[in-house]
Structure 1
Amino acid sequence: MDFLFSLEDSGLGQLVSSSIWGYPIFLSFHALGMGIVVGISVMFALRILGLAYAVPVTAIAPYWRLAIAGFTVNLISGTALLFGSASSLAFNWAFQSKIAMLIVSLFLTHRMVKVCIKQSETVSRNDKILAILALSSWTLTLIFGRLIGYIF
């Protein structure tokens, strides 16, 4: 607990929790980063599932770099938000579930990127199952993220 309180007492923790602009600014960046990484992940999944079939699967692989940039923004802003209320978030089951689902979602998305990078334009049944799992895990990640503010 002392470590969690020290995070909250840090300059960043105080900026997020005590200033009028800190929390809204970091939350806005968190939403933007999330929109980028989740949006691109959904784009990969939908293409693997057959949507926009005129676009080659391999043509969307370069968007992964943009998704990584969005995740970087998300990681930095999410860390700042964590510093603002570390002592309560550490024991919040919705936060813990969000982080667990985020790890699963990133893993599944990375696997989808590998499908899009390979030189073959064929998409197997397993690839489609992967895409459905990724869409489901991102959905759960977002739901748990929204629940954080309502679970104490």
Structure 2
Amino acid sequence: MSDLLIWVTDTLNATALSDLVMNNAVVFPTLEMAHFLGLCLLFGSLLVVDLRVVGFAKAIPIERVDMFIRFAIIGFSINLISGLLFVIGDSDRYLVNIAFWLKMGVIIIAGLNTLYFVRRIKPQMDTGVESGHLQHGSHVVAWLSLVLWTSVIILGRFFPYVE
């Protein structure tokens, strides 16, 4: 482990927040439940949006999937907060785990994919353009989103098994 990583883990482990997360019988399990709820909101919402963009559930007007984007943002926010608290609470476990770093990398790529979606595809959805007439590449962005977020889930499940 590098000196910087040792310093970061020692610093985080010395905080009162780390102590609260790791030494309170209620906090860590509550964070796990919140993280799972956030995951359900995030992935469930993205599933609806992305599948609609690729042409499934055509009976749902494409401009109506906007409400699912809001739920995805709420889910991501819950996961961001609970995930940060996991890292602060148990930095020795997370910051040395290759699956953690791969997951963070995939989240960054998924975020860039989402940024592209929000800037290029969502404005067309807001005007009611049908999925078949969305900008070229919208299907690729939607499928990529599903693959990336599925990868995030899988990598998160690897944490206990990879070090």
TM-score where L is the length of structure 1:
0.90
- AA aligned to 2:142 is A
Look at both structures and tell me which one has the larger radius of gyration over its CA atoms.
2
1:60-109 deviation digits (Å, cap 9, x = unpaired): 12332222122111111111111111133112110001111112223323
Q: 1:71 and 2:82 equivalent? A: no
Whole-angstrom CA distance in 2 between matches of 1:140 and 1:34: 13
1:37 is paired with a residue whose SS is helix
1:98-137 deviation digits (Å, cap 9, x = unpaired): 1111122233234334423322222355111111111111
Whole-angstrom CA distance in 2 between matches of 1:39 and 1:113: 18
Whole-angstrom CA distance in 1 between matches of 2:7 and 2:93: 13
Aligned length: 152
- 1:136-151 paired onto structure 2 within 5 Å: 136-151=147-162
8 Å CA contact retained: 2:35, 2:78: yes
1:61 is paired with a residue whose SS is helix
8 Å CA contact retained: 1:60, 1:116: no
Q: 1:44 and 2:49 equivalent? A: yes
In structure 2, stretches of 5+ residues that fail to align are: 1-5
Change (3 A) 1:106 1:39: farther
In structure 1, stretches of 5+ residues that fail to align are: none
Shift of 1:44: 1.1
Whole-angstrom CA distance in 2 between matches of 1:116 and 1:45: 11
Change (3 A) 1:110 1:35: farther
Whole-angstrom CA distance in 1 between matches of 2:114 and 2:57: 19
Which residue of the partner structure matches residue 123 of structure 1? 134
Overall identity of the aligned pairs, in %:
28
Whole-angstrom CA distance in 2 between matches of 1:132 and 1:58: 19
From 17, 20, 30, the equivalent of 1:15 is 20
Task: Give the ranges of 4+ consecutive aligned residues of structure 1 lying more than 6 Å apart after TM superposition.
Answer: none
TM-score where L is the length of structure 2:
0.84
Whole-angstrom CA distance in 2 between matches of 1:110 and 1:61: 15
Q: 1:60 and 2:79 equivalent? A: no
1:62 is paired with a residue whose SS is helix
- AA aligned to 1:140 is S
8 Å CA contact retained: 2:49, 2:68: no
Change (3 A) 1:110 1:44: farther
Which residue of the partner structure matches residue 31 of structure 1? 36
